[in-house]
């Protein structure tokens, strides 16, 4: 069964509609300020931040870290997995 991941927090659901209907604790606009957003890449053994290249084995481990090369400024946002 396929899993669909949120690109912000790494939570996964078996359906996109379940995933995107609940609020995301790591949404870039603030805690619970938006819904989970679908990570559109494939499931991988390692995920790479698209801004700085930081690597982690899961999305949920990658995204808590502040990103030194975030487009909003140094450490103004979190790592985001490349597709």
Q: Using DSSP, state whether 65 is helix, strand or coil.
A: coil
8 binds Zn ion (CB under 5 A): yes
Cα end-to-end span (Å), the chain: 20
The answer to the question of residue 6 lying near Zn ion (CB under 5 A) is: yes
Instruction: Return the number of the residue (4 or 24) whose C-beta is nearest Zn ion.
Output: 24
CA quadruple 70, 35, 32, 60: dihedral, nearest 10: -60
14-73 positions binding Zn ion, by CB under 5 A: 24, 36, 49, 51-52, 54, 67
Instruction: Name the site residues for Zn ion (rule: CB under 5 A).
Output: 6, 8-9, 24, 36, 49, 51-52, 54, 67, 79
């Amino acid at each position: 069964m396929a899993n669909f991941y949120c690109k912000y927090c790494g939570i996964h659901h078996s359906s996109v509609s379940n995933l995107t209907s609940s609020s995301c604790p790591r949404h870039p606009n603030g805690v619970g300020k938006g819904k989970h957003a679908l990570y559109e890449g494939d499931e991988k053994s390692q995920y790479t931040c698209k801004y700085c290249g930081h690597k982690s084995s899961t999305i949920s481990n990658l995204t808590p870290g502040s990103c030194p090369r975030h487009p909003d400024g140094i450490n103004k946002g979190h790592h985001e997995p490349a597709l």
